[in-house]
Amino acid sequence: MIKPIAYIHSPFPTKFGIPRQPGLVPDLRAEIIFEPEYRDSESLRGLEDYSHIWLIWEFSEAVRDKWSPTVRPPRLGGNKRMGVFATRSPFRPNPIGLSVVLIEKIELSTPNGPVIHIKGADLMNNTPIYDIKPYLPHIDSIPDAKAGFSEKTAAYKLSAVIPQEHLIKIPEKHRSSLKAILEQDPRPGYQRDNNTREYGFFYADMEIIFNVDGDILTVTNINFI
């Protein structure tokens, strides 16, 4: 039986709004906080020589008793089914996620023991981490690999508009990452045919309210929580 070695601390208290893949929002920061029994700085010896790591984690909000052999990928509009093993859907027989992230810095001595600061993560706050492995570019990167149906939607983005009256409310350190999150279109795939609907998600102590008309996403309000 495996158990978490750490938990992620990220600005996403809920699933809505989280980038669908790691690295899509490069400036998105998070921290890896180890469980007490794994707070040994010796376990990180040598990790400072790597730029990226693999995180093996659990889709903790997607745990189910049953599974389906097919799922509806959001990038296909949520209307076309594909085999679960041909997707990165969280709804899997075993809800295991895999993400490669950038190491921003490593602090070996904090009140919480050693902490890894990362960028580009696609994880909800308090997601359990089961393992950490170094990313090896000469092995893990395959430039001519085929990307299946996801290759056709890789360039999909919205134009995100944050009116000045709302932009000034956003702490400067969150502006670029929030804009990149919005450009990825955080709406569910099956809710993209109604340009009058308003959506909202929570990010870094803010509730971001927006609507989408065609390829233009506009922030209509920001509430602080």
What is the C-alpha separation between 167 and 171, in angstroms, rounded? 9
Total domains in the fold of the chain = 2
Same domain, 112 and 31: yes
Residue 195: CB atoms within 10 A of its CB come to 10
208: domain CATH number?
A: 3.30.2310
Q: Going by C-beta distance under 8 Å and a sequence separation of 6 or more, which residues neighbour residue 97?
A: 55, 56, 57, 58, 59, 90, 123, 127
pTM score of the predicted model = 0.88
The pLDDT profile of the chain, 225 residues, written as one tens digit per residue, is: 789 999 999 999 998 889 888 999 999 999 999 999 999 999 999 999 999 999 999 988 777 788 889 988 876 766 789 899 988 888 889 999 999 999 999 999 999 999 999 999 999 999 999 999 999 999 999 988 888 877 766 678 899 999 999 999 999 999 999 999 999 998 876 666 666 789 999 999 999 999 999 999 999 999 998
- Whether 186 is in a domain gets the answer yes
User: Which tokens is 204 given?
Assistant: 């870094």
Same domain, 211 and 111: no
Same domain, 164 and 125: no
Secondary structure E strands in the chain: 6-9, 29-34, 52-58, 70-71, 82-83, 96-107, 115-119, 128-134, 159-161, 198-203, 206-213, 216-224
> Which residue do the tokens 């027989």 mark?
93
Same domain, 16 and 122: yes
Long-range CB pairs of 135-139 (<8 Å, 24+ gap) are 135/50, 135/51, 135/52, 135/53, 135/54, 135/100, 137/52
Same domain, 108 and 185: no
Please report which residue ranges of 21-162 form alpha helices under DSSP H.
137-140
Same domain, 213 and 174: yes
**Does residue 81 contact residue 162 with C-beta atoms inside 8 Å?**
no
**Does residue 45 contact residue 209 with C-beta atoms inside 8 Å?**
no
SS3 label, residue 128? strand
Same domain, 126 and 175: no
pLDDT (0 to 100) of residue 192: 61
- Whether 126 is in a domain gets the answer yes
Same domain, 169 and 219: yes
Same domain, 133 and 181: no
Please report which residue ranges of the chain form alpha helices under DSSP H.
137-140, 164-167, 172-183
Expressed as residue numbers, the domain containing 218 is 152-224
What is the C-alpha separation between 175 and 168, in angstroms, rounded? 9
Same domain, 133 and 28: yes
- Whether 1 is in a domain gets the answer no
Burial class (CB in 10 A: 0-12, 13-18, 19+), 203: buried
- Whether 200 is in a domain gets the answer yes
What is the C-alpha separation between 189 and 212, in angstroms, rounded? 13
- Whether 24 is in a domain gets the answer yes
**Does residue 197 contact residue 11 with C-beta atoms inside 8 Å?**
no
